[in-house]
Chains A and B, each alone.
Chain A
Amino acid sequence: MSLYIDVGYENLNKYGEELCGDKVEVIRNRDSVILVLADGLGSGVKANILSTLTSKIIGTILANGLEIEEAVDTIANTLPVCRERNIAYSTFTILQIFISGDGYLVEFDNPSAFRFRKGKSMPIETDSREICGKIIREARFEVNQDDLFVLVSDGAVHAGIGHALNLGWQWENIDEYIQRTFRSEMTSKALAKLLLSACDNLYSHEPGDDTTVAAVKIKRMANVNVMVGPPVDARMDKTVVDRFISEEGRKVVCGGTTSQIVARALGREIMTNFRYYNPEIPPMAEIEGIDLTTEGVLTLREALSLIKNCISNESTMKDFLRLDKKDGASRLAKFLIEEGTNINFFVGRAINPAHQNPDFPLNLGLKLKLVEDMAECIRSMGKQVNIEYN
């Protein structure tokens, strides 16, 4: 089974605290993705140290193929003891998804993990066992395409206590909310951000506890092919277009000249697309068989800015909602962030005559830089990126 495991997480610090007492560790290796969510005792620096140690130790041990018993034993013997409570304590949840389609879940004192299949809740049944005096819940299961796993710290289920809700946001409420918000194209990061945003609002922006949401989404591999700029050698136009067209997945053409080359090579018309008009972003066009046809540099620059906003640590839900707009830049960014798992750039290096004008601020170097920056951003999301220069 060829799966892409999309991981995203977000956290909120307890009101007035500089550091978060929850920690998420993601380890990607060849066979699997391991996600550890640890919630340290108390809050602030102390909790941060506890959760960081816990998540790092567990992540490293499991990534090296050792058993969970080893990890729990190590934690029990190495965590610093709290002077006030005289205990060393950090709750945790471990989720390991294997590329082969197997899943492994371990929970210790954290709220139960959520599982959704095609948007419908499907709780994971766990067995309990004792390791080093700690009761651990454990489950092994099969993972399907479109499965979604959500791990939360107890701050999420307490959201709203004393503010909007009397008893806080119960596990069942979160479960229902995720089902209501589920959209198949939504990224894990967007979902984590949405859920955390709801928690933050329920806390009236003054969280009573460190709150963390981590989401893992199992997706089918999907290609997005982006052709930018005409090849240096005009005789190669047809060859490059043929190769571009023969790729599976979405096809995006950026640039006026590039669009003409593609249309000519395919023997099709270019028509102006009026579906969205935004004076700040050049209009789109339509070529039969091409999913998106846009202007070049300005659209790429705007799309890159949107992608950077979304992957930034300071991003908000508004940045993700911006992707729902219908202009060329938003649609391109949406393809790259939400749909594609493998991105192939076909970058032509011919110099655009329009860019020869010294007053024109754009040049070939800028276009290549935009593509490279874009590729870097996409790679940071754990996606495969190939760039082919022509």
Chain B
Amino acid sequence: MGLRTIVLKIYKPGREKKRILDEAIYNYSEAFRFLLDRARREIAVIGGSYRLASGPYRAGALMKWVDRDLSEELDRFKVQPFKDSLKFELGMVLAGYLNLMETGADARLPRAEGSAERPVYFCRYDTRRSYCLLYDREKNRYWAKLYLLNKDAARTTDIKTYGGNRLEYVCEGSGAFECNRRKVNYIIVPLSFGKYQERFLRDALIDPKTLRTARLMKRGKDYYLAVSIDTGKAEALAAETYMGVGRGLDNSLVYTTVDKNGDIIGSGPIPGTGGPGGRAASLHELHKAANNITEIAQKNKSQVIVQNLEKIGDEIRWSDSGGNECRPVYDRRTYIRLAELLDYKLAGMGLPSPVRVSSSDIFYRCFDCGFYSKKNRFSRDMFICTKCGATMGIEELGSLNLARKLIRYGKSRIKVKVAVTPGGARFTSKLIGLDCFIPHDENQPEVLRQEIQRLLEDMRQNREVGEILRGNEYKRRSSLLKKFGRSADCMDLIEFI
């Protein structure tokens, strides 16, 4: 599923509607603060009680912490129309926090204090509650129906205000919007937007199921409705190239695209990013960068490869002889966030999710001969291989080495230990579970081939291997044996040590 958010402006609301909108935002923010404050005090209990037997914390399970009593307490904030939304949003925040804590990250719950207003979250698209869109076919105008009022605040509305009976629901069946003199707990507001947003709205008229959640927010004196739209799963594209996206010292991000042979197709900084080193970029900037990466990847049908900076760094930092340290433009956390955005943005375009690889060597390994040495980095920006003399800019080198990582992995060899004795040779590899002794008078390479073939067959039929090994160890063995299976001659993949 690919999600896009379009932001629609609420067009010139009158004084009364402004009051309702302001009050809704204020009430929602107050109620959320109240819930968060309570949750903070009980976080240990929540963490223990709502943990799923398997897998991470889920918002759906955590929202159940708001029981009937607590839910009734929320009534004093006049948030009856948003109770489900409040619960679900709280569940999402708690799940994020608890899951981060599980990984040992330095995380904290958002502050409950302060007067910052929180956007009102509409957790579902519905014509009878939460929110929905309306369409005036004659004038080609869109409206939003927002359930913001509780029973006590319900009000009567004048149908003339909404263009008579012309409005129809943007929903399956497209029923006409009917308005009578009865009191209602919603308001209807006209929307204004640009051509980009209109394209999505038109699509929604054809397939209303794509309309998902929304947020009502206030920026300055204006009000906006940010609507999430499910763009669906794009047609899967088979990756034909590899695109490495690495951090940079002058540029935030640098990419290199290579073909299946590792030859460079294109490279350069990711457009629209840049700035001083070691800073956290705004989410807006990250989205922009991710969109640009996705666009380039789509153009070249690329498998995007990103740095795995969760545990091991990339040593891109540089200290000169004067002790001045130069840091990458994006810090680790920012880069990791970018990779998370790419996860769904690429999927939305039908491209495979980005592959995260260790990047500890990418700024020090020669792109030509493969030689790795710290001495290869000659200066902050310049790489000169001490084995073959190849030169390249550091940023370009990092992204190129990333782009070629999977190709290099495919060609890398598996180490097999050989102990030669007067009677024969013992071949062992713990990684693939190999341990066999072959006498000198036998055709040792041939017997070794047969033994590896046997291990591969065992793995395929889940004999022995699957029963003994679990988790990562099994995955690693299975991946290596499959590599043998793909090779023309398994001996080509072995490095005897």
Name A's B-contacting residues (CB within 8 A). 164-165, 173, 176-177, 180-181, 193-202, 269, 271-277, 279, 286, 317-318, 321
Contacts and interface: CB of A to CB of B under 8 A. Distances in A.
A181 B387 contact: yes
Contacts of A317: 369, 387-389
A276 B415 CA distance: 11
A279 B446 CA distance: 12
Contacts, number: 72
A271 B378 contact: no
Contacts of A275: 418, 496-497
Contact of A277 (B382, B425, B496): B496
B411 to A, nearest CB: 15
B425 A274 contact: yes
A198 B391 CA distance: 7
A6 B496 CA distance: 34
A272 B387 contact: no
Contacts of A276: 496
A321 B418 contact: no
Nearest to A286: B420
Contacts of A198: 384-385, 389-391
B465 to A, nearest CB: 25
A187 B479 CA distance: 42
B375 interface: yes
B422 A269 contact: yes
Question: Which secondary structure characterizes the binding site on chain B?
Answer: mixed
Interface in B366-424: 369, 375, 378, 382, 384-391, 393, 418, 420, 422
Contact of A274 (B388, B391, B418): B418
Interface in B438-497: 440, 444-445, 489, 491-492, 494, 496-497
B440 A181 contact: no
Given A176-B378, A202-B391, 15 more contacts: A164-B391, A164-B393, A181-B375, A193-B389, A195-B389, A198-B390, A272-B444, A274-B427, A274-B444, A275-B497, A277-B445, A279-B489, A279-B491, A318-B388, A321-B388
Interface string B106-129: 000000000000000000000000
Contacts of B382: 164-165
24 contacts: A164-B391, A164-B393, A177-B386, A194-B389, A195-B389, A196-B389, A197-B389, A197-B390, A198-B385, A198-B390, A200-B389, A201-B384, A201-B390, A202-B384, A271-B422, A272-B425, A274-B425, A274-B427, A277-B445, A277-B494, A277-B496, A279-B491, A317-B388, A318-B369
A177 B369 CA distance: 17
B358 to A, nearest CB: 25
Contacts of B386: 177, 180-181
Contacts of A200: 389
Nearest to B390: A201
A180 B375 contact: yes
Contacts of A201: 384, 389-391
Contact of A177 (B378, B418, B496): B378
Contacts of A164: 382, 391, 393
A195 B384 CA distance: 10
A164 B489 CA distance: 42
A197 B491 CA distance: 34
Contacts of B389: 193-201, 317
Nearest to B374: A180
Contact of A272 (B420, B489, B497): B420
Contacts of B489: 279
Nearest to B413: A277
A273 B418 CA distance: 9
A273 B420 contact: yes
Contacts of A274: 418, 420, 425, 427, 444, 496
A173 B384 CA distance: 11
A199 B389 CA distance: 8
Given A165-B382, A277-B494, A197 B422 contact: no
Given A269-B422, A272-B425, A275-B496, A173 B378 contact: yes
A214 B127 CA distance: 84
B418 to A, nearest CB: 4
A202 B389 CA distance: 9
Nearest to A273: B420
B391 A194 contact: no
